[in-house]
Amino acid sequence: MQKRRLGRTDLLVSQICLGSMTWGQQNIEAEGHAQMDLAFSRGVNFIDTAELYPIPPKAETQGRTETIIGSWMKAKGNRDKVIIASKVVGRTGNTWFRGDRPSKLVRADIFDAIEKSLTKLGTDYIDLYQVHWPERDMPWGSNPTRVGAVPRRADTEGAPAGETPIAETLAVFEDFVKAGKIRHLGLSNESSWGVMRFLVESDKGTGPRVASLQNAYNLVNRTFEVNLAEVCEREQVAFLPYSPLAQGYLTGKYDHGARPLGSRSQLFNRGQRYETPNAAEVLLEYNKLARSFGMEPALFANAYVSSRPFVTSNIVGATSVAQLDTALSSVEVRWTEEMQKAVDAIHQRVGNPCP
């Protein structure tokens, strides 16, 4: 398992990052611990979580995932060997994050989020603290290619009324870095403009420099390559792709309309991002392509993401150790020119059906 530098920081993270959003809902504590045991035995040193988790978000489950990670680190006594990434929610009308009010990216709310996460994780610092989504009025994933996804514009120069300026948010994180509560700052579900705005402000001395970006990336959503790949490459911002299996649609288990009992789509009906017009046909084509190379679709899809030269760490998720074993094995796959040409041939024809 290779280790790669996280942006311009001194952190070396494994090329696979262990996602955790199922722990506390689809997975009980013991199952989360078993996944961490397996991942770390295979060279992983990087775990991604969020104050929001587990998914789907609910008031009664929120925060369980961080608690499960905290209990595992306490039992193992290995906090110094774990690189923890967590997240603060962006603007939301849900009052159960802050206890009595909607949340924004302002000082009081960020302070509340960090203190609660530190307590649940049982640690006094978080290695990488990320903005889960922008406060700006943006489509989910900040992806301008989605149908009808037109960001709200400011009527006058500056931010729209009620929107916290990025510079103000960034200054808050500077205080937490100086206090030693977080080591580095990251973004998630952010656009090219948003990443550059954060970088411009930090270059002006406003706050910490963004170290990483976490956006969706997989065979049916390669929109990162359009603009963000250049931003991250030139600005030395690490890319941490999530959803390499397109919420399980690139495993083959949902082919031909199947909805296996206990699967995320069957349990929660949250797969609309991968149920767009023509998506089923395209997903089936990629899954068939994987099998033509003698691989299960889940291994092929993860190997594709893990092999991209602009990927620092591929965030994988699983609900069983068998699924996780497959994801971890993706780094051992030799991604060939023939595979890439076959993938690109489909992509050139169908584009990004699930942005």
As annotated, the active-site residues are 53
Residues 61 and 24: beta-carbon distance below 8 Å: yes
Buried/exposed 5-22: b ≥16 CB within 10 Å, e otherwise: ebbebebebbbbbbbbbb
Helices 29-41 and 64-76 pack at an angle, to 10 degrees, of 50
Tokens found for residue 116: 């609660």
Measured distance CA(68)–CA(264) in Å, rounded: 20
Distance of alpha carbon 165 from its chain centroid, rounded? 23
Three-state SS for 293-355 is CCCCHHHHHHHHHHHCCCCCCEEECCCCHHHHHHHHHHHHCCCCHHHHHHHHHHHHHHCCCCC
Question: Among residues 241, 264, 174, which one has the least CA distance to residue 210?
Answer: 174
Measured distance CA(328)–CA(314) in Å, rounded: 10
Residues 324 and 295: beta-carbon distance below 8 Å: no
Q: Quickly count: other Cβ atoms within 10 Å of residue 272's Cβ.
A: 11
Measured distance CA(324)–CA(44) in Å, rounded: 12
